[in-house]
């Protein structure tokens, strides 16, 4: 399976380049849902640039496209927009809680079921080191008083456990938790995850995105340059994305066997890939995993 999981190690700023309200540099967003995303062209460019810097130009261009002898080499894969899968937000009683848009979880499940270009390497078991909830409602007074409650970004949210018929959603969520566990080890004792229904998702995700003011200093005067104050939006560390990667060529095409495509992404799996803007101020470092190395069958 070619699909990728990306975990942010530092704040990540894939800017859309278009101002949004008071935010001068907002993150990219999906046109249909208005949820934050990372465009596939940005993901592909970052991966290709990383491979070339590591001395794999020929392999990168044969799989991701390039030029050879004045001719264009078409890409052997299609890299889709990265779906925001788990956004970490502060909690007074749980330290960090991860918000998971249910619509994106269902889209990820659809990709996993429908597109399996590479053989799976290992069997995946649902992890038990996380708690998965859904929101019972935004108002604690409108829900069952027996429901468990959790403080998220200074809001008290009533919760309920997932139903048994939603086991597949827990399996897919387990993949996200597994990627966090592989990346950060014993940093977190447990993971508390809230599955956001469509009617709540925009409010909580927009509130959970990082926002900061930036300035540019005039090095001669030591003061802020005139007009050089701006605000930007970013994904915090510990954010998880799913990147759909689909083959565009059969294994006989131009003598490039399909396993060559899979091998390139396997070599990428587990690597730290720089991504987005502001790398020189500690932003944009991600850990990338090939999903086929993490599960068997959902």
Query: What residue segments make up the domains of the chain, in order of their start?
Result: 4-293
Q: CA 89, CA 208: separation in Å to the nearest integer? A: 6
Is the entire prediction scored with pTM above 0.85? yes
Q: CA 291, CA 205: separation in Å to the nearest integer? A: 24
**How much is the mean pLDDT over the chain?**
83
Give the pair of three-digit tokens for residue 179: 């990627």
Most confident of 175-189, 217-231, 243-257: 175-189
For 71, the 3-state DSSP assignment is strand
Question: At 125, is the pLDDT very low, low, confident or very high (cuts 50, 70, 90)?
Answer: low
Torsional class of 9: left (φ above 0), alpha (ψ -120 to 50), beta (otherwise): alpha
Question: Is pLDDT at 255 greater than 70 in this prediction?
Answer: no
**How much is the pLDDT for 205?**
94
**How much is the pLDDT for 17?**
67
**How much is the pLDDT for 297?**
40
């Amino acid at each position: 399976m070619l699909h990728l999981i990306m975990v942010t190690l530092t704040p990540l700023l894939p800017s859309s380049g278009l101002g949004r309200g008071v935010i001068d540099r907002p993150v990219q967003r999906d046109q249909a849902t208005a949820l934050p995303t990372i465009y596939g062209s940005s993901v592909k460019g970052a991966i290709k640039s990383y491979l070339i810097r590591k001395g794999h130009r020929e392999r990168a261009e044969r799989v991701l496209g390039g030029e050879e002898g004045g001719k264009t080499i078409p890409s052997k894969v299609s890299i889709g927009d990265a779906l925001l899968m788990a956004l970490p937000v502060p909690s007074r009683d749980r330290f960090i809680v991860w918000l998971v848009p249910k619509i994106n979880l269902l889209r990820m499940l659809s990709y996993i079921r429908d597109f399996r270009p590479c053989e799976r390497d290992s069997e995946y078991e649902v992890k038990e080191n996380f708690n998965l909830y859904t929101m019972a409602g935004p108002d604690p007074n409108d829900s069952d008083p027996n429901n468990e409650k959790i403080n998220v970004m200074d809001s008290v949210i009533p919760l309920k456990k997932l139903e048994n018929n939603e086991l597949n959603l827990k399996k897919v969520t387990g993949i996200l938790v597994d990627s966090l566990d592989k990346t950060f080890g014993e940093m977190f004792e447990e993971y508390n995850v809230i599955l956001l229904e469509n009617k709540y998702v925009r409010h909580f995700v927009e509130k959970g995105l990082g926002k900061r003011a930036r300035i540019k200093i005039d090095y001669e005067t030591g003061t802020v340059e005139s007009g050089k104050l701006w605000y930007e939006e970013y994904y915090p560390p510990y954010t998880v994305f799913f990147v759909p990667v689909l083959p565009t060529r059969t294994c006989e095409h131009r003598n490039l066997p399909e396993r060559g495509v899979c091998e390139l992404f396997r070599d990428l799996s587990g690597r730290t890939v720089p991504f987005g803007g502001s790398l020189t101020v500690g932003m944009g470092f991600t850990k990338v995993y090939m999903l086929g190395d993490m599960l068997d069958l959902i």
